Chains A and B, each alone.
Chain A
Amino acid sequence: MDWRRIIATAILAVSTAVSAPAQQNLCDSEASFGRSDGTVFGRYCGVCHTISGKWNRIVRAPLGGLFERKQLVTGQPVNEETVRELIAKGGPSMMPGFQYTLTAGQINELVQFLKAARCPEQAPGSQQGR
């Protein structure tokens, strides 16, 4: 498996807004590295990640459809608990842990956002969403 895909599978983020219009806006604005919006994802995660995978970031694979994947970069299965732990503790290579930056509530919001995060072209089951 492509290492970038593995890393991407590991990382996360996003904010509280999960409505379809909000996601459309987020995916449209991903070109704005580090300043994509006022969401937790935009502020803390968008530096390295995108939902769309459209831009040539540190992690190139998209985060859209994360929970449809089989495993994280850590080798663990993808579920709320493992994703929450990865955000808090960081990944095995480049991702730092956000346990001292984000509150438990913010991390939970990110997990919930990632469960739904998907760009319009990333229909469930599509290749790009994987």
Chain B
Amino acid sequence: MDKQLELLQGTLDMLILKAASLGPLHGYGILLRIQQISKDRLEIQQGSLYPALYRLERRGWVEAEWGTSELGRRAKLYRLTDAGREQLAAEMLTWKRFAAGVSKVLFST
């Protein structure tokens, strides 16, 4: 599993929501969390991570507050809002159906 997979369009938001649902995290933490859970299989463009976070914040799915990072620096910590939780659940369901459908087509005998 050396090769990292490029993310499909539109899945980054979903992954961020999932990572943020596990507790308040700063941007870098979210990145690490995603890579860690995916066992480094997913490659995230760092240039797109923060704009995505700002967009999600604007839509009210995550909210941020200032806290302290592991290094003792001031860090902007993101956490999921209730609306974000609903959105995540909805996207997970859609993804499950989508993936099941695609697999069925691709791996049918």
> A and B: partners?
no
